[in-house]
Structure 1
């Protein structure tokens, strides 16, 4: 994890890792069969950091909304602490086909589903909430780490670049005009507002007994 945090994922090879650790690359194969297995272990270690976060509760102590808020902020802290690693959390094969990143741990999936189930969500509602919640986290946090300069196309490319190049914008005058606004970092506000909106939608689904998110809350705010 420290190597990837410092040098980036594309730089990780068994030889380079061995050099950084002061050992021969071949000695690493005593512990992991290869790079893919090493990456799986790294992902597990990253997700397991949630268990050491004092602000994240494994069980809902103050209701399901507080539980989801704390968990969301815990995942965001991990993404920002390991921006070079977070795309890996999103792309490595999951433990089961229905496990959705970034909550790749079966223990956390069980915890989330149980937190919802014990707070009045039906089985269908709990699954709908789980899918909506993980989609929100993954989409927002991948965009946020990408804004911080992580090349999303360099996840497994040893020759990838960690810096984005700005294309010639002469043919795009509106982009040039709006670039100062487009460059504003509103990620914290956007995260909070999107999380609150999702929790409101889940509350409406729970209160109405629906088995899907309310369609009226899914409309484009710009068109409202």
Structure 2
């Protein structure tokens, strides 16, 4: 990866009679967004600037503005790309094939895989404004919400039960996955976890029970906890479906 000192001077290249660096591999919006995601994956969001992104692509920042209007639009495009990756996940169907429970299980694990592949970028899914104010992250695209709601109503959920399920499902995913990515170095604000070296024995002297159970608290059971919580949620949704079904 290029440093900020390696920014290519397109104007100087042209004055010297050289082809601008971007001529060898033309820019496009997809390439810019993919490079931004790579940068966030490696360095976090804080260091991402249009100038640094241009450096990584071998162009000056001004060349990027033909494809994205600025950093805010770039971040929105990053979120769109992250959500869209589930479209090419073979394990995430567009509609129920083996019932609604299987559909939601696969969908939940698809979202989790996005979070685990891009833990430092995933908080953007929660923080960027959605397409409509009533959409909820992480299932925040109209396309996925349409699939979710139509899948449940086709499987016998009333409209009210489908909407309630969408709210419960999205709340479960967001809460669990933000906590999980925070353990992978993601900046999630007040959810940030303390580094291990801050919990030295002396700092826990006043908390004997915490000190005694510290090793257990440090164990990583994220996958099991996700699965168990998801199963409990699906049981609740099944009850909601039966309670609101026409008599």
Q: What is the TM-score when the length of structure 1 is the normalising length? A: 0.86
Tell whether 2:202 aligns with 1:166.
Answer: no
1:184 is paired with a residue whose SS is coil
- Secondary structure at the aligned position of 1:101 is classed as coil
Gaps (5+ residues) in structure 2?
Answer: 1-36
1:200 aligns with 2:235: yes
Judge conservation of contact 1:150–1:162 (CA < 8 Å) in 2. Answer: no
Given candidates 60, 69, 74, the residue that maps to 2:110 is 74
CA distance in 1, matches of 2:41, 2:185: 13
Query: For residue 68 of structure 2, what is the aligned residue in structure 1?
Result: 32
Correspondence 1:190 to 2:225:
yes
Is the 1:59–1:67 Cα contact (8 Å) retained in structure 2?
yes
- 1:170, distance to aligned residue in structure 2 (A): 3.4
Q: Report the CA distance between 1:166 and its aligned residue.
A: 2.4
Could you tell me how far apart the structure 1 residues matched to 2:51 and 2:118 are?
Answer: 22
Gaps spanning 5+ residues in structure 1: where? Answer: 155-160, 212-224
CA contact (8 A) 1:103 1:109 kept: yes
Is residue 86 from structure 1 mapped to residue 118 from structure 2 by the alignment? Answer: no
Give the Cα separation in 2 of the matches to 1:28 and 1:169: 50
Separation in 2, partners of 1:147, 1:132:
24
Aligned residues: 206
The answer for the alignment partner of 2:52 in structure 1 is 16
State the Cα deviation string for residues 131-153 of structure 1 (Å, max 9, x = none). Answer: 00000000000011112222312
Kept in 2: contact 1:149–1:163 (CA 8 A): no
Match of 1:117 in 2: 153
Match of 1:175 in 2: 210
Which of 101, 106, 126 in structure 1 is aligned with 2:162? 126
Contact 2:120 2:185 (C-alpha < 8 Å) held by counterparts: no
Greater relative CO (CA pairs within 8 A, separation 6+): 1
SS in 1 for 2:91: coil
Q: Measure, in 1, the Cα distance between the counterparts of 2:182 and 2:125.
A: 14
- State the 4+ residue runs in structure 1 displaced beyond 6 angstroms: none
Deviation at 1:13, TM superposition (A): 0.6
Whether the 8 Å CA contact 1:151–1:163 is kept in 2: the answer is: no
Report deviation, 1:8.
1.2
Larger radius of gyration: 2
Cα distance change of structure 1 residues 162 and 192 upon mapping to structure 2, 3 Å threshold: closer
The alignment yields a C-alpha RMSD, in angstroms, of: 2.1
